[in-house]
Amino acid sequence: MKRILFVLGAVLMTVGVKGQGKWGSSTADSVSCYEGYNIFGSYYQSKNYLDAFEPWLNVYQTCPGAKKATFIYGPKIVETKIKSTTDAVEKQGYIEILVKLYDDRLIYFPGKEGYVLSEKASKYIKYNSDSVEQAAQYFDAAYTVAGNDMSASQLNAYFLTNIKWFNVTKDVDELFIVYNRAIEALEYNSMRYSNDISVLSAKADTVELSAKELKTLAKSEKNMSNYDKVQSNIEKALSPLLTCEKLAIIYNEAKFNEHIDDTEWLKRAGKMLQKERTGEDGELTSCTDNPVFLLVAERLYELEPSAGAARSMAILGVRKSDWSMAKKYYTEAIDQEEDLRKTSDDYMGLAYVNNKMGDLPSAKRNCLKAGQLRKNWGNPYLYLATLYASAAGECGANAVEKNAVYWAAINKLTYARSIDPSIADKANQLISAYSKVVPDKGVAFQLGFKEGDSINIGCWINETVSIKFY
């Protein structure tokens, strides 16, 4: 025990002195370092991390600047030692080595500062769960350097640490700053991966993807899923503070006047108020009812007419039932937006507006555009199915043709649930309802139709369906 504590103390005192040679300050050091490096490397490759600790520690203590691998492999080796140690004092010593390892990496091998500082903060809070203030400071320093380059897990740890710190400080404004930072970084990374997915998925519809492209597609889908999961977790963690009632306290007219020229605050306020929230009564409600949303939307568009600002104006138009206004700004948002998932949302918003304006051909076209941009999103087809069903009696020359729209609707719903399990329940409910109102078999027979026959639906739908009786 005394030997271990002596070694820990020696490491914490001596590592960081760059005056020594790369492989130590003497021939004996060099020999010891070469041997230690090879030994711990061999143990590491065989996943024997516990036995790798002693030779690794010797290298880290004697010649930290010899190889970058000392710092790349070090965290795994030290964490294994931490987990295997039962003595509290000894364990804390290893934790201190782990945290210092990241500082020393930046001294001996500068570069990737954002990643290194983010890892340092993540490891610190992992093993020092009670030292929330220090962890929050480490994360702030990491975010200052890394920003959007923080990984999904790092952003999750950053936010959850600040949730704990909020429980101490009760500073909701500071918590919301961190929340917005995390969400913006998550959205930025999700955009990169979702855009790759959209482009490659569209290409796969016409040609066979190369092995490299398939690998990129799989990697992008996995990474996007990770960022989306963390965003969902963060939203859930903050949900008690995200009701429209509580947001109205945070985003009020006084705060608006205080930040009237602050585009960052206006952007964040607009995004926060746009989303539907679960109210204190458990019902979904739109926070765009907040009078401040009108002020924010108009002021932001005046200062910076970006895609996000145009989207806020479009939503404002919908709230006012000013369909021409909504159409104008959704179109503007679509033209400017770089995030293809947000563009697909805008196409759906525009389709809704088209329907309200009685322009069903455009509504259909924009639903399909939304679906093309997000291949695994069922909402465009679910909404299109309801539009088809609402056209019953309008297309065709007889009772069968006029109600064939229900078969077209069922086809869209079947496709929607096949690509998007999250809307399967809703799709099944509509399929069940529409199956009960398809043309009657007896009537169809009298008009010369039988099961399996094809019917072309004209009008704005313009699709061919097969007759099926239920």
Q: What is the DSSP string of 148-188?
A: GGS-HHHHHHHHHHHHHHHHHH--HHHHHHHHHHHHHHHHH
CB within 8 A of 253, min separation 6: which ones?
Answer: 291, 292, 295
**Residue 3 confidence (pLDDT) above 60:** no
Q: For residue 21, what pLDDT is reported?
A: 58
Which of these three, 209, 241, 273, is where a domain ends? 241
For residue 455, the SS3 value is strand
Residues 120 and 105 in one domain: no
Residues 74 and 176 in one domain: no
Residues 102 and 151 in one domain: no
Residues 156 and 106 in one domain: no
Residues 154 and 229 in one domain: yes
Calculate mean pLDDT across residues 31-39: 90
- Rounded CA gap, 295 and 301, in Å? 10
Q: How remote is the C-alpha of 2 from its chain's centroid?
A: 48
194-230 pLDDT tens trace? 999 999 999 998 999 999 999 999 999 999 999 999 9
Which of these three, 196, 226, 241, is where a domain ends? 241
409-459 pLDDT tens trace? 999 999 999 999 999 999 999 999 999 999 999 999 999 999 999 999 999
Q: How confident is the model at residue 239 (pLDDT cuts 50, 70, 90)?
A: confident
- Rounded CA gap, 290 and 292, in Å? 5
Calculate mean pLDDT across residues 261-274: 94
Q: For residue 4, what pLDDT is reported?
A: 43
Residue type, 334: I
Structure tokens at 385: 């199915």
Structure tokens at 421: 């399990």
Calculate mean pLDDT across residues 28-52: 91
Residues 186 and 205 in one domain: yes
**Domain contains 456:** yes
Tell the residue number behind the tokens 């597609």, with chain if given: 217
Structure tokens at 85: 């140690």
**How many other β-carbons are positioned within 10 Å of the β-carbon of residue 45?**
10
For residue 457, the SS3 value is strand
Phi-psi region of 449 (alpha: psi -120 to 50; beta: other; left: phi over 0): beta
The strand pairing partners of 325, in sequence order, are none
The strand pairing partners of 278, in sequence order, are 284
Residues 75 and 32 in one domain: yes
Q: How remote is the C-alpha of 386 from its chain's centroid?
A: 29
Q: How confident is the model at residue 32 (pLDDT cuts 50, 70, 90)?
A: confident
Residues 130 and 202 in one domain: yes
If one counts the domains in the chain, the total is 3
Q: How confident is the model at residue 26 (pLDDT cuts 50, 70, 90)?
A: confident
Residues 95 and 117 in one domain: no
**Domain contains 67:** yes
Q: Which domain covers residue 235, as residue numbers?
A: 113-241
Q: For residue 279, what pLDDT is reported?
A: 62
What is the distance between the terminal CA atoms of the chain, rounded to a whole angstrom?
78
Structure tokens at 131: 């030292």
Backbone angles phi, psi at 307, to 5 degrees: -60, -45
Share of the chain above pLDDT 70, in %: 94
Helix (H) or strand (E) segment spanning residue 351: helix 340-356
Residues 95 and 191 in one domain: no
CB within 8 A of 430, min separation 6: which ones?
Answer: 382, 385, 386, 389, 409, 413
Q: Cβ(151)–Cβ(116) under 8 Å?
A: no
Q: For residue 245, what pLDDT is reported?
A: 86
* Maximum Cα–Cα distance across the chain: 102
Backbone angles phi, psi at 323, to 5 degrees: -70, -30
59-96 pLDDT tens trace? 999 999 999 999 999 999 999 999 999 999 999 999 99
Q: Cβ(114)–Cβ(142) under 8 Å?
A: yes
Q: Cβ(430)–Cβ(382) under 8 Å?
A: yes
Of 402, 398, 397, the C-alpha closest to 437 is 402
Report the predicted TM-score, pTM, of the whole model to 2 decimal places: 0.83
Of 173, 360, 148, 323, the C-alpha closest to 254 is 173
Of 185, 177, 175, 130, the C-alpha closest to 153 is 185
CA Rg value for the chain: 30
Share of the chain above pLDDT 90, in %: 84
**Domain contains 133:** yes
Mean pLDDT, the chain, as a whole number?
91
Residue type, 321: S
**Domain contains 7:** yes
Calculate mean pLDDT across residues 293-300: 96
Tell the residue number behind the tokens 């093993």, with chain if given: 127
**Domain contains 126:** yes
Calculate mean pLDDT across residues 157-169: 94
**Domain contains 212:** yes
Residues listed for the chain: 470
**Domain contains 235:** yes
Residues 117 and 32 in one domain: no
Of 296, 272, 270, 286, the C-alpha closest to 172 is 272
Residues 188 and 219 in one domain: yes
Look at the alpha carbons of 457, 461, 467, 470 in this order and tell me if their dihedral is positive or negative.
Answer: negative
Q: For residue 240, what pLDDT is reported?
A: 86
Q: Cβ(318)–Cβ(353) under 8 Å?
A: yes
- Rounded CA gap, 140 and 153, in Å? 15
Mutual orientation of helices 323-336 and 307-319 as an angle, nearest 10°? 160
Calculate mean pLDDT across residues 250-258: 94
Q: Residue 281 carries which DSSP code?
A: T
According to DSSP H, which parts of 15-151 are helical?
A: 27-45, 49-62, 69-84, 88-108, 113-127, 132-146
CATH number at residue 130: 1.25.40
Which of these three, 207, 241, 275, is where a domain ends? 241
Q: For residue 8, what pLDDT is reported?
A: 41
Structure tokens at 198: 């959209």
**Domain contains 359:** no
- Rounded CA gap, 275 and 273, in Å? 6
**Residue 7 confidence (pLDDT) above 80:** no
Q: How confident is the model at residue 141 (pLDDT cuts 50, 70, 90)?
A: very high
